[in-house]
């Protein structure tokens, strides 16, 4: 996680800088970087490569950037946060055009954001608070999931249109 922290500190970005990683955002960075390391190992001859490795890596990198912007949405303003979510729709749609496993890609892109916003992972609250906290956390995740699924649908439709286009053009 240290390279991520130093990169974010050098660029002046919030959330995953060194101080942020020491104060809780490791909950999002640790699983995301573990998945990223697993995918990157697929390029070494000793390890089996996963389908769509490069696309999944690109999606995870965008997910880390999205998690940073969405985490500070109150400071940035909701217009910028929803602009980032709209950009997520475009990124997911473009990646889904080329991916075999499009739905997996759509959920993987928002995984850093999911890990970052599930506060119940940090310290388990009392049982009566657990449900209200979990519902609040899941409601906060509905917009990113909706925008990512919209990108999945757009990318899948574009992929179908691209595959059908040469046959339809040949008929005319």
Its pTM stands at: 0.77
Query: What is the rounded distance in angstroms from the CA atom of residue 84 to the CA atom of residue 95?
Result: 16
**pLDDT < 50 positions in the chain:** none
Q: Is 22 exposed, middle or buried (0-12, 13-18, 19+ CB in 10 A)?
A: exposed
Query: What is the rounded distance in angstroms from the CA atom of residue 151 to the CA atom of residue 153?
Result: 5
- The pLDDT assigned to 138 comes to 76
15: left (phi over 0), alpha (psi -120 to 50) or beta: left
Is 92:148 a contact under the CB 8 Å cutoff? yes
Query: What is the rounded distance in angstroms from the CA atom of residue 117 to the CA atom of residue 107?
Result: 15
């Amino acid at each position: 996680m240290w390279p991520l922290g130093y990169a974010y500190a050098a660029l002046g970005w919030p959330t995953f800088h060194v101080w942020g990683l020491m104060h809780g955002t490791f909950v999002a960075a640790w699983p995301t970087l573990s998945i990223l390391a697993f995918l990157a190992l697929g390029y070494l001859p000793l390890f089996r490569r996963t389908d769509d490795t490069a696309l999944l890596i690109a999606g995870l990198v965008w997910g880390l950037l999205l998690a940073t912007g969405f985490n500070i949405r109150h400071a940035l303003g909701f217009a910028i946060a929803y602009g980032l979510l709209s950009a997520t729709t475009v990124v997911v749609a473009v990646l889904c055009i080329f991916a075999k496993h499009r739905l997996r890609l759509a959920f993987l892109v928002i995984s850093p954001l999911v890990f970052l916003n599930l506060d119940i992972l940090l310290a388990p609250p009392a049982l009566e608070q657990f449900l209200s906290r979990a519902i609040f956390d899941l409601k906060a995740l509905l917009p990113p999931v909706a925008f990512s699924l919209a990108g999945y649908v757009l990318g899948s439709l574009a992929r179908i249109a691209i595959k059908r286009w040469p046959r339809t053009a040949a008929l005319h």
